[in-house]
Structure 1
Amino acid sequence: MATTGPSLLSATLASGSSLVLLQLFSRVVTFVLNQALVRLVSPQVFGTTSIQFELLLSTILFLSREGVRNALLRAPSNVASSSNQKVANQLITNISLLPVLLGIPTAVLSAVVYLGSSSSVTSSQPHFRLSVALYVLAAFFELLSEPLYIRTQNELRFHVRVRAEGTAVMLKTVVTFLVLVSATEEWALLAFAFGQTAYGLAMLVSFAIACSDSLDFRPKRVSVTTQNRTESLLFEPALFSLSIAMTGQSLIKHFLTEGDKFIVSRLSPLADQGGYAVAANYGSLIARIVFQPIEETARVFFSKTLSSSTAESETKKTPAGSREALQTAATVLLTLLLAFNHLLLFAVTFGPPYLSLAICLVLPRKYLATSAPSILHVYVYYIPMMAFNGVLEAFFASAASPADLRAQSRWMLVFSAAFVAAAVGFARGFGMGDAGLVWANVANLALRAGYAWAFVKRFFREQGAGDLVGWKRAVPPLPVLAVFAGAAAIVRGSASSYNGVPLHLIAQKGHLATGVACLLGCLLTCVVLERKAVMQLVGPLRKAR
């Protein structure tokens, strides 16, 4: 049975809710764990595991699977006949095995390069090489589960991933904590390595159990008849070409995404790497809980919706179904952008005046002397930009042709050069230190989001639906902007008057009361002035459900 627009929207919205709850659970658990870990281990150990080891892990996983994963989201969820469905499923299965094959040389090469380039201070830590080997093993466990992950995603069985990741996060947390509290400081690196290995193994076992009805993932050739000609295929040509294009692009994209960690791991002392890791963990908490699930579910929704609109327009020779799908995609995109614009307003208005107080309350004392506080101040601007870029690039990845991907890759080379120049300039030239790297990331994300938005406009225009998207529909009205500007002036004036007052809740109670009053005023303004506009925007989505 076909996956219709409304049922697809309902499934992806349910998926988004489930993933937000999963991220909330996993990040709260991780946050509590980190609060304990940063008190149990030194900044040097935390910097090695959270910056360098995590960078090694993400490099292996991202380069091996990201391109294939995004390409296969466009695979049709169903085909007209059962025989054709069986053929299509086998071709998709064959492509889904590529991350495992790519992962072996990628893991070996990444580990060799990392070990060869590690400083003597880093590599002299106890059990360093064994910990690296365990992180590589953990990455390979995750890659072995990738064909099963792709199958469940294309079958819209999102609950499988929620259950698998929830189990894996809990197991990783328990293993890491138990090793740390039961062993000496010498085992600190191995504690994190054992925890990550447990995570990868739990992911593999969970997906294997969920797909136990069919675990035969041997690549098989199938016979396909097209235009009275039968040919033997191992991969579906269009999806394979798209997978190769996206995999090739992933190297550049990975550098742009993790470029700050690359630079920090090479240039900053281990203690500052620990401070950077703590700041990143705290600063990106909201992004990981809310925006990462939104980006992932948006990518699934846009991929399925836009591919189905193309299929309908080709088979029915009418733009009616395609127009409806395009309108739904545009509404989802604009609704998300409107929400993120409000996030930006709240972050810029209330973040800077109250962040110093929050840092002193949450951040462990030994990290106050690191780069963590200055980095967290930049996250006020970094998090909203992550949100904008995430959803816009999700749309781009869902609709772009191989030619579009090649064009984006060329521009990403330009963005990479700009990022490196900005990172060096901000961090060294302007004396911002590690915070300068985050500012460079903000600029990089803004360029990427702008490029993706230009693609969105062009895509809808070429589909004859340019009227469906417009930036004005995603921006709050002027009265709302004016209220936020007034609130920003008030809370900054309050912060100035409390300058020099101890950073404690009781001592700062007047400043906090001012912030709460202004926050309530901004929320009330949004509800009163934007309720009608928001209802008009999300009305089609409610009907679709």
Structure 2
Amino acid sequence: MAQSPEARTGTMLASSATGTTFLILIQLSSRIFTFASNQLILRAMSPVILGIAAQLELFQVTILYFSRESIRMAIQRQPLQPMSTNNSPKSKADSAEKEQVTSSQSHLAVASQSVVNLSYLSLSLGLLLTVVITSLYRYYAPVQAAFTPYFQHSVVITGFASLLELAIEPFFAVIQQRMWYEKRAAVEMPAAFLRSLTTCSSFIYASRADVPIGALPFALGHLSYSLALLCGYCWTMMGRGSDNRPFTYRLAKIKTSSSEYIFGRFPRPLMSIAASVFLQSVVKHILTQGDAMMLAALSTLEDQGIYSLAANYGGLVARIIFQPLEESSRNLFSSLLSPDETGKRDKSQVHAAKKHLVGLLRAYQLLSLAIFPLGPLMIPYVLRALGGSQWASTKVEDLLSLYCYYIPFLAFNGITEAFVSSAADSSQIRNQTVWMGAFSACYALAAYLFLEVGSMGAYGLVLANIVNMAVRTLWSYNFIRKYFAQQGDAIDATEISMQPISYAAGVAATTFVARQGFEQSNRGIVQAVLFSGVYGILV
């Protein structure tokens, strides 16, 4: 028997909750492994090497982002047919139900084959982009980086690792579509461990052998991670543990005589969305990675290393909590808001999407009230314990403290844009792209004022990013408000906002920490911990 809309909504919400848990575990394990390995080598590593490592990561992220981001966004718009809850009819009277089950399974196979075919475009784009971006980076690399040992090898290895990572896209597409997050966790967690182990062990070996190795350990870490992903997904999705699926992971033909498919393989509606998102991704990548690009172009490798440390430590909460929530919510929104054959959306599913979004926005506000005062308060104590004397400077402390104010803006922008990317049609995505151009101008102006006029350096970049995220969040919230109003389930500000006393407590605590704080001593640590506990209970 096919599931009712209410039952299907409950199933999707349960899958999303389970998926979020697995995604958080993936991010948590990855960050713990990375954090542990960095702590083992941080005291012996110069800011210059860390700056080169940050450039290598930006280099790889750029290839992966442009190759697969638009394809992944489009794939999320390919919903699965509601599955039958009874796959074994027991009597002849159930023949109609059996036919419905067969039809559902057939639709499931077509939907899965569609996303598999589309995912191969990521590898095609990646091959071209890897050659172009690798050549450009090797040619325009800073002189200080070019003369670092094994720099050219590191660039080539990182580019090859990017191609290997793109080779898993057919498997990843099916996992995302069917919300098999446990399979993803089983592959990505060991891969993250292997990357950290490879980076750490190669760096320690070179240090003990007194061999200058530059940033090569980081490139080897990227390569080991990609190899582990490729082997893990092949084993998990094609091995004995997989179910009997009537589709193939090859680039297979779906329909030969249908206008809905290009060359009988690529679904035309998804191709249209992918093209629209790809144009937007150019502007969006500049907005997202603008700080790293500007630092790479305008600052020294040492400054880049310091900023990289601040971004990595300051962004732990964003990567461990906010990023998995954003990813699972995007999948959930895409499933709940997908129209039926007549182009209409189920009202109960629209309401469920609204309820999920409101709950997250309220939770983000609560977490922001904790981050604003307590983040800058604890940064100096934590940094001295983790980074040692080489990194314990006022510049790094102040930058990390300022980064704490940036994290909530990053979180709100992520979840609101996740909703927009799931609900917007092609024309609305193109409209958002135009506004992204305006946001780029706003970001550039803010960066110019803070960096050039104000001479604030890395601090100015963080402030410019706050302005960037704020204007993007306002646009996304306006889209969300109009969308729910059109669906007959308007969203009100009172549904999202918290009690005024909560905001007052946050402002008072943040002002106290910014103006006074506690002294840098054992007594100060005890006072800071007590203050944090009392404030946390109050909020």
TM-score normalised by the chain length of structure 2: 0.89
Question: Is the partner of 1:311 in helix, strand or coil?
Answer: coil
**Structure 1 residue 494: Cα displacement:** 5.3
Residues 113 and 248, structure 2, Cα contact 8 Å, conserved in 1: no
Residue among 141, 148, 153 paired with 2:164: 141
Which sits farther off after the overlay, 241-250 or 397-406? 241-250
- 1:431 Cα offset (Å): 2.1
8 Å Cα contact 1:223/1:230 also seen in 2: yes
Gap runs ≥5 in structure 2: 83-102, 240-244
Amino acid at match of 1:37: I
Task: Give me the whole-angstrom Cα distance separating, in 1, the residues matched to 2:218 and 2:506.
Answer: 43
Give the Cα–Cα distance (whole angstroms) in 2 for the partners of residues 134 and 231 of structure 1: 35
Distance 1:365 1:251 in 2: 40
Q: Is the 8 A contact 2:38 2:200 kept in 1?
A: no
Aligned residue type for 2:336: T
- Paired with 2:355 and 2:205, the residues of 1 have a C-alpha distance of 53
- In structure 2, the residue matched to 1:287 is 318
1:155-197 deviations in Å (ceiling 9; x for gaps) = 2211111111101110001111111111245223211111110
Secondary structure, counterpart of 2:78 in structure 1:
coil
Report what 2:458 is aligned to: 434
1:42 is matched with which residue?
A: 46
Give the 3-state SS of the residue equivalent to 1:187 in structure 2.
coil
Structure 2 counterpart of 1:476: 498
Q: 1:78, CA displacement in angstroms?
A: 2.5
Residues 18 and 162, structure 1, Cα contact 8 Å, conserved in 2: yes
Q: Which of 266, 279, 282 is residue 235 of structure 1 equivalent to? A: 266
Structure 2 CA distance for partners of 1:492 and 1:55, relative to 1, 3 Å: closer
Could you say which residue in structure 1 is the equivalent of 2:98?
none
The separation in 2 between residues aligned to 1:281 and 1:351, in whole angstroms, is 14
| 2:232 match | 206
The 5 Å alignment of 1:233-272 reads: 233-272=264-303
What is the total number of aligned residue pairs between the two structures? 506
Which of 311, 328, 337 pairs up with 2:340?
311
Distance change in 2, residues 1:239/1:181 (3 Å): same
How many Å apart are 1:71 and its aligned residue?
1.0
Match of 1:197 in 2: 223
Structure 2 counterpart of 1:223, from 242, 245, 255: 255
Aligned pair partner of 1:332 in 356, 366, 369: 356
What is the alpha-carbon distance in structure 1 between the residues aligned to residue 335 and residue 29 of structure 2? Answer: 28
Alignment equivalent of 1:297, drawn from 317, 320, 328: 328
1:112 is aligned to 2:143: no
TM-score scaled by length of structure 1: 0.88
Looking at structure 1, the residues matched to 170 and 365 of structure 2 have their Cα atoms a distance apart, in angstroms, of 36
Residues 427 and 70 of structure 1, relative CA distance in 2, 3 Å threshold: same
Match of 2:21 in 1: 17
Q: Which amino acid aligns with 1:451?
A: W
How far apart are 1:234 and its partner, in Å?
2.2
Q: 1:365 to 1:306 in 2, by over 3 A?
A: same
Distance 1:247 1:332, change over 3 A: same
For the 8 Å contact 2:41–2:204, the answer to whether it is kept is no
Give me the whole-angstrom Cα distance separating, in 1, the residues matched to 2:263 and 2:168. Answer: 27
Q: Give the superposition deviation at 1:382.
A: 0.9
Q: Quote the Cα distance in structure 2 between the aligned partners of 1:34 and 1:232.
A: 48
Counterpart Cα distance in 1 of 2:197 and 2:378: 34
Q: 1:218 to 1:484 in 2, by over 3 A?
A: closer
Which secondary structure state, in structure 1, belongs to the residue aligned with residue 255 of structure 2?
A: strand
C-alpha displacement of 1:390: 0.7
Quick check: 1:168–1:199 contact (8 Å CA) kept in 2?
yes
Cα deviations across residues 476-533 of structure 1 (Å, max 9, x unaligned)?
11132233344445556652xx4xx4x133354345434433333x23xxxxxxxxxx
3-state SS in 1 of match to 2:438: helix
Q: Any conservation in 2 of the 1:103–1:143 contact (CA below 8 Å)? A: yes
Q: State the partner residue of 1:526.
A: none
Contact (CA 8 Å) 1:29, 1:173: kept in 2 or not? yes
Query: CA offset at residue 230 of structure 1?
Result: 11
The yes-or-no answer on 1:452 pairing with 2:476 is yes
Query: By how many angstroms is 1:371 displaced?
Result: 4.5
Distance in structure 1 (CA, Å) of the matches to 2:215 and 2:351: 51
Q: 1:336 to 1:361 in 2, by over 3 A?
A: same
Q: Is 1:69 aligned to residue 72 of structure 2?
A: yes
Q: Distance in 2 between matches of 1:101 and 1:246?
A: 17
Alignment partner, residue 123 of structure 1: 146
CA contact (8 A) 1:60 1:106 kept: yes
SS of residue in 1 equivalent to 2:286: helix
Q: Following the alignment from structure 2 to structure 1, what is the Cα–Cα distance between the partners of residues 524 and 356?
A: 44
**Does the CA contact (< 8 Å) of 2:337 and 2:350 recur in 1?**
yes
Change (3 A) 1:479 1:97: same
- In structure 1, what residue type is equivalent to 2:76? L
Residue 163, structure 1, aligned to residue 186, structure 2: yes
Structure 1, 118-127 or 179-188: larger mean CA deviation: 179-188
Give the counterpart letter for 1:156 in structure 2. Answer: M
Supply the distance in 2 between the matched residues of 1:260 and 1:489 (Cα, whole angstroms): 27
Give the superposition deviation at 1:423.
1.4
Percentage identity across paired residues of the two chains: 31
Change (3 A) 1:324 1:430: same
Question: Partner amino acid for 1:74?
Answer: R
Deviation at 1:89, TM superposition (A): 3.0
Task: Name which of structure 1's ranges 394-403 and 457-466 shifts more when overlaid on structure 2.
Answer: 457-466
> Which stretch of the first structure deviates more once superposed, 511-520 or 152-161?
511-520
Asked if the contact 1:223–1:231 (Cα under 8 Å) also holds between the matched residues in 2, the reply is: no
Query: Secondary structure of 1:148's partner?
Result: helix
> Aligned partners of 1:114, 1:286: CA distance in 2, in Å?
31
The one-letter amino acid paired with 1:257 is T
Q: 1:494·1:511 contact (CA, 8 Å) conserved in 2?
A: no
The counterpart of 2:62, out of the listed 28, 39, 59, is 59
User: Does 1:26 find its partner at 2:20?
Assistant: no
Q: 1:175 to 1:18 in 2, by over 3 A?
A: same
Letter in 2 for 1:400: A
Cα displacement (A) at 1:142 = 0.7
Distance 2:249 2:508 in 1: 60
User: Cα distance, 1:302 vs. partner?
Assistant: 0.5
Contact 1:139 1:200 in 2 (8 A): yes
Correspondence for 2:96: none
The residue type equivalent to 2:376 in the other structure is P
Equivalent position amino acid for 2:521 in 1: H
Deviation sequence 1:15-63 (CA, Å, 0-9, x none): 10111122122212211111122113211111101x2000000000000
* Contact 2:257–2:264 under 8 Å retained in 1: no
**Structure 1 pair 443–515 and aligned structure 2 pair: CA distance change class (3 A):** same
Instruction: Work out whether residues 494 and 514 of structure 1, in 8 Å CA contact, stay in contact via their aligned partners in 2.
Output: no
Asked if structure 2 preserves the Cα contact closer than 8 Å seen for 1:70 and 1:397, the reply is yes
Q: 1:277 deviation in Å?
A: 0.9
Greater Cα shift, 478-487 or 111-120 = 478-487
Tell me which residue corresponds to 1:513: 530
Per the alignment, in what secondary structure is the counterpart of residue 214 of structure 2? Answer: helix
Which whole-Å CA distance do the structure 2 matches of 1:220 and 1:368 have between them? Answer: 56
- Secondary structure (helix, strand or coil) at the match of 2:371 reads helix
Label 1:277 to 1:488 Cα distance change in 2 as closer, same or farther (>3 A): closer
Counterparts of 1:364 and 1:41, CA distance in 2: 12
Aligned to 1:405: 429
Cα distance in structure 2, aligned partners of 1:166 and 1:206? 10
